[in-house]
Amino acid sequence: MKKIVTFALLAMILFLGGQPVSAQNSGALALIIDHYAARNFLEGAIPAADLDRIIQAGVRAPSARNLQPWHFTVIQNQTLAKKLVSNNLDGNVIIVVSGPGDGKTNYVQILDCALAVQSIYLAAQALGYGSRIYTNPIDSLNNSMKTELSLPAGYSAVALIRVGKIQGGVDAVSSASSRKKVEDVVTYKR
């Protein structure tokens, strides 16, 4: 019996070792490891129930001392959305995550907001949508669009996430970026 278990474990290790990373993961782990920023968004409305779940993922993010120092501005008005992301398509939704202060100084609150950003980004992909995080428009947003977007008083935008339909599968294959090697960015102190 012991030999059979050892053989089965060895066979599994050998099998998985020869697979691409994406084939080694399933469920939540696959999503966390194999996500990618969408390149080729499509037009098309996101059903309210899906959008609600995506927002809920942000609201449920962890935060230091559970202060939840964030606000989510969900932009479905395309005129406004295009002011932030010029090639935004009809149906794509822009979610602005903002936090107290200038969005640059309080690193713990920025980290909290960043976790909410990541949760929204991943939740959208879990539901089969494309998502992409943007920080390029943030300075301009904070300089001139806070009132227009009704950000809470004293808040500044930290990042935004674009969510939209994509052509399943094709986008992933054409778009996935490489990452640094594990051995180049990890130090073990044993």
Ligand X SMILES: Cc1cc2nc3c(=O)[nH]c(=O)nc-3n(C[C@H](O)[C@H](O)[C@H](O)COP(=O)(O)O)c2cc1C
What is the contact surface with ligand X in residues (CB under 6 A)?
36-37, 132-136, 159, 175-177
Phi-psi domain of 37 (left: phi exceeds 0; alpha: psi -120 through 50; beta: other): beta
Closest contact distance (angstroms) between CB of 125 and ligand X is 10
Closest contact distance (angstroms) between CB of 154 and ligand X is 23
Closest contact distance (angstroms) between CB of 39 and ligand X is 8
Nearer to ligand X, 66 or 177 (CB): 177
Nearer to ligand X, 66 or 184 (CB): 184
Q: Which alpha helices (H) appear in the chain, and where do they start and end?
A: 2-17, 21-24, 27-34, 48-59, 78-84, 107-126, 138-144, 170-175, 182-185
Nearer to ligand X, 133 or 149 (CB): 133
Task: Give the Å distances, CA to CA, from 48 to 15, 44, 55, 74, 88.
Answer: 42, 12, 10, 12, 19
Closest contact distance (angstroms) between CB of 3 and ligand X is 43
Nearer to ligand X, 56 or 136 (CB): 136
